[in-house]
Amino acid sequence: MAVTPSQFDLLSKLVDVTVLRHKVLSHNVANVNTPGYHKLDVSFDEALAQHIDRHGDHGVSQLQPTIMEDTVTPGRLDGNNVDIDREMMRLNKNTLLNNAYLQIVATKTAMMRRSISGQ
């Protein structure tokens, strides 16, 4: 029996993905005035959903997120297609998700700590 609580692999992967997505979104925000820049995005959720359908949460740590360049969305006159409001909202959402995942990990760790010390 594994010592660490279940879903730790899944949670750490999800945290990794939110950190990666944060980098990508801040990169978009930093390039909001760069002519010809196409916004980037991280795709992971679909791959994760497929993996969980087939294999459950076993081996999720091998799953890799992918950075996608969005060349389809029409841009401004200078060819840049970053929508700053959208990026900021996604940044907020991503931070919230990251907080939620980390809070779950923290709670599980606290439970473990309590059961070890027998309180």
Partner 1 sequence: MGFDTSLAAFNISASGLTAERLRMEVVANNIANASVTRTPEGGPYRRKDVVFETALNPDGPAQHGATESSGLAGVRTVAIVDDMSELPRRHDPGHPDADADGFVTMPNVNLPVEMVNLITATRAYEANLKAAQSFVDMNQQALTIVRG
Give the interface with partner 1 as residue ranges (CB under 8 A).
15, 18-20, 22-27, 29-35, 37, 40, 64-69, 84, 87-88, 91-92, 94-95, 98-99, 102-103, 105-106, 109-110, 113
Nearer of residues 23 and 58 to partner 1, judged by Cβ:
23
Would you give the distance in Å from CA 96 to the centre of its chain? 11
Using CA atoms, how far apart are residues 72 and 52, in angstroms rounded to an integer? 29
Shortest distance, position 96 Cβ to partner 1, whole Å: 9
Nearer of residues 58 and 92 to partner 1, judged by Cβ:
92
Shortest distance, position 113 Cβ to partner 1, whole Å: 6
Shortest distance, position 35 Cβ to partner 1, whole Å: 7
Nearer of residues 49 and 99 to partner 1, judged by Cβ:
99
